[in-house]
Amino acid sequence: MQLNYPKLFQTQAYINGVFVDGDSGTFEVTNPYDGSVIAEVADCTPQQAEQAIQAAAEGFKVWSKYTAGKRSRILRKWYELQLEHADDLARLLTTEQGKPVAEAKGEIRYGASFVEWFAEEAKRIYGDTIPGHASDKRIVTIKQPIGVVAAITPWNFPSAMITRKVAPALASGCTVVIKPAELTPLSALALAQLAQEAGFPAGVLNIVTSNNAPEIGSVMTESKIVRKLSFTGSTKIGKLLMRQCADTVKRLSLELGGNAPFIVFDDADLEEAVSGAVAAKYRNAGQTCICANRIFVQSGIYDAFTEKFAAAVQKQKVGNGLDEGVVVGPMVEEKAVQFVEEVVADAKNKGGKVLTGGQRHGASEGLVYEPTVIIDARVEMSVFSEEIFGPIAPVFKFETEEDVIALANDTNYGLASYFYGRDYARIWRVAEALEYGMVGINTGMISTAVAPFGGIKESGFGREGSKYGIDDYVEIKYLCWGGVK
């Protein structure tokens, strides 16, 4: 792979400040567009995961004693290095994950923004003084880092999902052990190279690459040294990790699956709603937890919306993420494409009509699936209840505000939601009625470092980003001073 800074192409795990081989050998990382092997990456054993946890425990003794200002300066340097090498990091990300390179560069900048934000928040982890309950008592609270944090990150945002977890952990004084997705470990290892150059002490940041996620995950959840686990991924795996963490009563942050509704009321700006729907649905080929999963359009504008929406979707260029102008790249692996094919077939069998897309791109047997719009969608179809995680947009018709609120909330998930309309009274009613942790109002893009990201119901708990993002990595300690006379 041609990079301006070849040191970013690392294939060894990163433990205790050193790049090391995997004791189980290596596993292949492939390009999802053409299936070519990009790298052979270190396949770590559970024993190496234990070593990484021990290294983090030793690193914590050093890092937690640094002043907030010193931690802030090192984090700031890491942020600056990520921006400096954004082009290389984006190319690496696209090659292993598939998203268009312009989108990948956007992810690098987005991920770096969390490092910048929490570099600043490191200096603002304040306690309180509380009026005492007796004349000779004084009450103070302080916030201290939890300790060693384990992070299990997904393949769909292999850079940003690391920085979004690691930056607040490090800012608060914690140390981390990361298990990146086996499909996309190279972005994580590139971040480790830059972390080393930024000046993090040994053991503060560790990356355990492995093709055996369950074994490494079990080491993390069973460890008494690990005090907190942060996971982004499926609800099924999140529930499993939650059960595994019960015996050691770990602090948990879980960002799990979603089934985001995208509602268009009849008074919406149609052009803006179409643009927002395209952005919310097809970013990363529909492979994001906050993608619009079900599009609900009020009956009075249903035909006009679907016509304009399908026309906009048809204009999207698909193909190799490294090619200029491509906005929808390949899906990540064959089983993901097969699942999309199944939900499209189910929708067609139950009366849905494909306006555009509905198949793999051209005659290809590869992983590029055409952006698809399905109209006449109904609740009986699997596209209503399943998290699609692909470039498929089912469009449902609704009549009243009460109807669409019931439909939107008819899911176990509660991560992101969106709606378009101009009646301000209705905007307040709908925003309050939607059972989701995040609501986009007249926008299809809601992710930012300055706002709290997270869900409710079976989409998990905890918040990443914003001033609230530091809270999951600190303990509040109450100090009661007596004898003050």
- The answer to whether residues 219 and 53 touch, using CB atoms and an 8 Å cutoff, is yes
Name the amino acid, one letter, at 460.
Answer: G
Query: Rounded to whole angstroms, how far apart are CA atoms 131 and 29?
Result: 58
Indicate if the alpha-carbon torsion angle 19, 22, 28, 29 is positive or negative. negative
CATH of 260-410+416-453, one of 3.40.309.10, 3.30.420.40, 3.40.920.10, 2.10.260.10: 3.40.309.10
Query: Rounded to whole angstroms, how far apart are CA atoms 47 and 23?
Result: 9
Residue among 420, 408, 419, 418 at smallest CA distance from 457: 408
Query: Rounded to whole angstroms, how far apart are CA atoms 122 and 168?
Result: 8
Residue among 247, 246, 298 at smallest CA distance from 273: 298
Would you tell me the crossing angle of helices 213-222 and 235-245 to the nearest 10 degrees?
40
Q: How many CB atoms are located within 10 Å of the residue 382 CB?
A: 16
Domain spans of the chain? Answer: 6-257+458-478, 260-410+416-453
Residue among 27, 29, 28, 9 at smallest CA distance from 19: 9
pLDDT tens, the chain, 485 aa long: 899 999 999 999 999 999 999 999 999 999 999 999 999 999 999 999 999 999 999 999 999 999 999 999 999 999 999 999 999 999 999 999 999 999 999 999 999 999 999 999 999 999 999 999 999 999 999 999 999 999 999 999 999 999 999 999 999 999 999 999 999 999 999 999 999 999 999 999 999 999 999 999 999 999 999 999 999 999 999 999 999 999 999 999 999 999 999 999 999 999 999 999 999 999 999 999 999 999 999 999 999 999 999 999 999 999 999 999 999 999 999 999 999 999 999 999 999 999 999 999 976 668 999 999 999 999 999 999 999 999 999 999 999 999 999 999 999 999 999 999 999 999 999 999 999 999 999 999 999 999 999 999 999 999 999 999 999 999 999 999 999 98
Per-residue confidence (pLDDT) for residue 362, from 0 to 100: 76
CATH of 6-257+458-478, one of 3.90.930.12, 3.40.190.10, 3.40.605.10, 3.40.1080.10: 3.40.605.10
Residues designated as active site = 255, 289
Which stretches of 95-184 are assigned E, i.e. beta strand?
128-130, 138-145, 148-152, 175-179
Indicate if the alpha-carbon torsion angle 193, 159, 361, 319 is positive or negative. negative
HEC-encoded secondary structure of 253-301 = EEECCCCEEEEECCCCCHHHHHHHHHHHHHHHHHCCCCCEEEEEEEHHH
Per-residue confidence (pLDDT) for residue 363, from 0 to 100: 60
Give the pair of three-digit tokens for residue 7.
């040191």
Same fold, 6-257+458-478 and 260-410+416-453: no
Per-residue confidence (pLDDT) for residue 364, from 0 to 100: 61
Per-residue confidence (pLDDT) for residue 417, from 0 to 100: 98
